[in-house]
Amino acid sequence: MSRIDRRFAKLKSEGRTGLIPFVTAGDPSPQHAVPLMHALVDAGADVIELGVPFSDPMADGPVIQHASERAIAKGVGLGDVLGWVAQFRQRDADTPIVLMGYLNPIEIHGYQRFATEAVQAGVDGVLVVDCPLEESAVLEPLRQAGLQQILLAAPTTAPLRMVQLCGSAQGFLYYVSFAGITGAARLSTSDIATRVADIRSKSKAPVAVGFGVRDAQSAKAIAGFADAVVIGSALVERLAGAEGVDDVTARAKDFLAPIRAALDAH
């Protein structure tokens, strides 16, 4: 059983909703990347989504675009991100890590080489935003190496395709709560609830809901029907400009604590 599967099984047995924070690797500062990951866990993260910076993040809103740009300006590359995961693993053997990003950095790194290095570092899953199911044959070396491919489902996903996605889902299925980019603020909870209920009836994999979750209130609304909540842009925005390791980790904890509490109170 993979680390991700174990974590979701545990959440289920405890009757808790998972909290999945997203941070862009290397933002706000490369030297605090690893302490930040530990701080996320201390604040109640069940899975960490680590964004791999890319110059052309087509599906991301301004907050994550700018975080990517800042990280790239400081020279952050895929190799650094894998190094930080390996360092994180020295102290945390349990929290699953999913790398989220775009295909080109992996393609240029080399699929086989990436697969080997990512598994060695302790990465558990990979969510490649611009690699839909139809194109995911290129990710075969990653799956062979034991990395789980996290798939996205969207409000625009047609019913037949949803069945395919649910059938192919590994780890968890990431439901994009609205047709748009990351960080936008439009959520109709009842629509999402209906869609997520439909997906959960088709998918063996747990369902995490993201895009547009900003705070304790919106997270709590989703906790009623999802297995986990992903929170990205609002956290990245909060971390932007933080200076020094204490500031970075304190901001992460202050931001996540009320969300964790709201999810647990549900």
Write out the residues near another protein by the rule CB under 8 A: 53-59, 61-62, 65-66, 69, 72, 77-79, 102-109, 129-132, 134-135, 151-158, 161, 165, 176, 179-181, 184
Which of 135, 243 has the CB closer to another protein?
135
Among candidate residues 21, 25, 32, the one with its CA nearest the CA of residue 68: 25
Sign of CA dihedral 76, 210, 132, 167: positive
Active site residue 49: yes
CA distances from 241 to 75, 101, 236 (A): 17, 22, 10
CB 219, min distance to another protein, A: 22
Q: How far apart are CA 31 and CA 86, in angstroms?
A: 14
CB 258, min distance to another protein, A: 29
CB 161, min distance to another protein, A: 7
Q: Which of 14, 42, 46, 49 is catalytic?
A: 49
Which of 70, 260 has the CB closer to another protein?
70
The SS3 call for residue 98 is strand
CB 108, min distance to another protein, A: 4
Which of 43, 128 has the CB closer to another protein?
128
Q: Which of 27, 46, 60, 80 is catalytic?
A: 60
Q: How far apart are CA 142 and CA 48, in angstroms?
A: 19
Helices H, strands E: what count in the chain? 12, 9
Q: Which residues are catalytic?
A: 49, 60
